[in-house]
Structure 1
Amino acid sequence: MASRILIVGCAREGAELERRGHCLAHVVDARALPQWLADPEGWDVALLPPDLALLHALHKACPRTEVIVLALPGERAAAIRCLREGAFASVRRPCEGGELDALVERALERKSLRDAEAHLLALRGVLEAREKLPEAIVSAFAEALSAQSACLLVPAPEDGRLTVAYLWGGDGQGAHAPAWVHDWLRTEEEPAIVGAPSGDQPPQRAARGPGLVHPLTAEGRLVAILTAQRERPPFGPADLERASVLAAQARLALENERLLQHVASSDRLVALGQLAASIAHEIRTPLTYVLENAGYIAEHLPRFSPPESVQPTRDTVTFTQMRRAASDAVDGANRMRDIIRDIGALASADESTQLPFDLKEAVRASLRMADAELRGRATVTLRLDGETQVIGSIGRMSQVFVNLLVNAVQAIGTERARDGRIVVVVRREGARVLAEVSDNGPGIPPAMLNRVFEPFFTTKPAGQGTGLGLFLCRNIVRRHGGELRVRSTAQHGSTFVVDLPADPTQPARQRTVEADAPAPVVTLN
């Protein structure tokens, strides 16, 4: 969709922008501005003369429109006042070259980020308003059944154990469900009335009884369980039918809440990607200056030597030290350039563009981006084999490996940091390319192993993970025609395997004595 740009005066600049495909409205007479500001579709960017009255009128009518002030040489003071009052930028007329076009693009990027932020804040407000959803469900359930007590049980993400989300008619927030509920679920999947427990025997299904249990399932997955208790009169078939109607609404509300969280998390990831791309773009130009000048100094310093008459002392900085410092500065700036390039590729990766790339390069890029997380917390060993070219998006696959590396070091934890080890292996097996990321953390419990790729499943503390990382990684790998698998042994760590089809234009090498030699090993501390 073409960007909508409002121009007050400035006919020459408007003609240039129109040739670039923007949708323009040109207001010749500023007195007609109010009727243009009332346009229901709004404006992305406005180009105004340095007039505070016009700026205030536009901000009042269109607060999310970015304003660029076009000032004549004698209007510099007025342009500065407009910048202080919230204009995005100012440019001197007549504009030269692509200066105005570049400013408009930056203004559009800023508006896009601000719109994304406003959208996320609105979603967060909805989520905060729905925080009492478990209480509302249980209260309605208890009141409709005239129950003496009722509760909502949800599976804990760590081990699937049922935990009380809300208890009506008694205390016990956060307590676990009684053992008989777990036993009952092993043999019963349908809603039921249950009788009173007899001795050590758990309650059994009954035509009438003091207890009612109703599982809430979606696509074969247990979402929650509603339970209610009432001594007199005992629950009967009519109560069970009424409970089923209420449970259907409760399941729908909980699933809507889950989907809403999914949308919020996805939008947050999109906004972060846009922000990363914008920051990388802003840093790239000043970094070029640093690289060029540091390289110039490092290149020309060796031509100089201190005069023979100068006797070095203990506190004298030698030319050798200066050359070493200049070389370190160049190395550091080059590392920054590589990281910015990788972040830009990650943020703007387009899976619709399928190109051949070496999977080893995606691993190396991910190591650069995850360096801050890995440093001092684990030793990373690389075993990179020969022809490992695949087809797809190197940015998206780098995203997968960043997530796997960060998950690995977080699994190791700070307690094991001294002995933490991560091994990354990339190799060719026939028509497949395999990449394995292994850690020596505590491993994944068998009960949780089949759930690690589910959306919103996380074992991290609240606020430290969305539970979407591995879910998104598996989707990315599958869109590349591959599969993401995991194997784990308790107390011996986990291994995640990325299995991708090899580039068919790159045949596997013939197995020879030399080819069977171990892949080169690189260890990063």
Structure 2
Amino acid sequence: MRITEQAGPRWGPRRKMLLVLAPALLSQYMLDVLAVGPGVWTFVVRLVWALSVALSALRMDEHSPPSMRLHTAFQSTAGSLCFIALVLVTGGGDSVYFHLFPCLPLVLCLLYPQDSLSVALSGALCAAGAAGLLWGAGRPLSQALLWAGMVVTLTLVGAYGASEFRKAQRAENEGRLERARREALETLAISEHRRAHSEKLATIGQLAAGVMHEINNPVAFIGANLDFLEREVLSEQLASREELAEVFRETRIGVERVRQIIGDLKGFSRMDAEEPTECALADVVSDAVRIARLRLQHVARLAVDIPEDLPPVLAVRRRLAQVLLNLLVNAGDALEARGRAGSEVRIIGGCEGSRVVLRVEDNGPGFPPHVLPRLFETFFTTKGPEKGTGLGLALSRELVEQSGGTLVAENRAEGGARLRLEFPVGGSVKAAS
């Protein structure tokens, strides 16, 4: 059996304030008794005033701005008329409450700083009420106009103060929203940066077997050379100087090869925040190919055709190298899954009009028709969990678009897949910006 709890009425802050104010107004009849003595009409005025406030509070819809404005205007008008009636029944121009006429609009400015219409209505009614009571009591016209002017002046001062308060509050809210927006953008940028770094590490993880093999080769002959040197140093008869020099040279080459591999991986995995600069695609391709060969050397032949006179592009070199490495690793995975001799991956550069074009092609099986439309979706992958994260191509497209370029995928007519990258020429990008 399911029991649904019925929600009670939702009391907003304005309604709660008015429901507290209503009995407070009625209880002030005790002050009237102390000030002017008991009186039926005084109690009636207090009761009508309290009931008008309570009725307005009960019928108010705090989620509707028109309803709020209507009820605020009603409360101001009813309150001002009740106050005028209270002054009238407690002595008119000689009432102890008469000098409070200028205070009522100021109180409303505090209660409703967002509603200048209510303050204006109260000020007009209080000014007319003060002048009318003095004129009706036979006071000079100048005195009546003086009080009316005082009420109007204080109403204007209060309205100006409320207006300045609204401006300050609006500026504070806008500043808070701007800070929140800036913090959200900074958080998003950090998140994107970390996501790119995670994808880099995932790509390096896929290259781990090739990296180990590539490092093991120089390490193996470095170890063999050290064994040889140890035997020669400990033996009674040393080898020739030429032979020792050759051993040292081979050892140095092996150490340099290991250092180069580690340096490439370290540089590729760094998270430095870099600004776009003009970079030659030949250099970017060289950075990516040095690492990609670790993956492709036992899978396919890698051919690079980048013209020397290709214009530079405006991009972050390390990010663009990450994109190319992702594409080359994907091509290697597809060719390895096919498992056929004669596999080839090509990187071809060219210039078409004001755009620099870079194509990464392979002669593998290509993209299945049902995969091609979803290729750049986040977390979409056809690989197993040990090889694919579903982020590589989506992130690659984002990084290319951040440089003002495009990345599209298609199947080659002669068979195989093609990833086509287009970039505006570096100089034209700077001129446009």
- When Rg is computed on C-alpha atoms for both structures, the one with the higher figure is 2
**What TM-score comes out, normalization by structure 1 length?**
0.36
TM-score between the two structures when normalised by the length of structure 2:
0.43
Would you tell me which structure has more helix in proportion to its own residues? 2
